[in-house]
Structure 1
Amino acid sequence: MKHAEEFQELWESLVPDGGQAATVQGELIRSVGRLRDEAERNGNANWDEGYELFCDFIEITFRPLRMADPHARERIEVILNRMRQPNIAYLDYALFDELEDYAVDWCKSHPEPIPKPNDPRQYR
């Protein structure tokens, strides 16, 4: 992972101690981090709609990037498709690393905070 330190710094500065982030940048970092945490700590045993919503949010946020960069589009699609298979104790850390790098790059290319309304469906 080329942006491990930056990911952690973004987490600390953008993600609240509990609940959803107030910005798209913060929620992107939170979504990627929560997916990794669930896989590492629980082998996706708690996978439910909340984790599907994280995948949906990531997909929507990255949609313009995926349109601009065919390689990124393909990689993000592969990663999210794998993560949406919760029956597998999904622990391919390299794919989580790659997704975190995409998230850091996205945040760097969007430095101005983008407000994000609260999603009442997201309880994770």
Structure 2
Amino acid sequence: MLARKYNYEERWEQQEQQEQSVVTRPHPRRVRKPNYKLFRRRLFVTVGLILAMYFATVMRSAALVSAGKQLIKLQTQESQLISKNSELKIEVDQLKGPERITSIAEKQLGMKVARSNIYVKASNR
């Protein structure tokens, strides 16, 4: 048993010495160089993405401005057409009037209103 104990202690001491030698032995640390290719690639992708979003925003705002101008143009055209329509309605009412018809008949056709044949319409009450 003593031999086994001695052998065991010897192994224990050898392991401690190995651990000490491992700890005391300087390890050359691997210095990582900065990966500029990866950094540049990420930078270009980021800048490209930002530029694409900027151009999309500019194009969208240009489309909104042109749509606004077209809307204003259509509104002015609508107001002009509404005023022209009201003028034409007034003109149609004037042309439909009985005074106009009698004046044309008297002036251009030489007709006269017969006072003896005038009929009055009675209301239905």
TM-score (norm. length: structure 1):
0.18
Over alpha carbons, which structure has the higher Rg?
Answer: 2
TM-score (norm. length: structure 2):
0.18
- Larger helix proportion, structure 1 or 2? 2
By relative contact order (CA 8 Å, sep 6+), the higher-ranking structure is 1
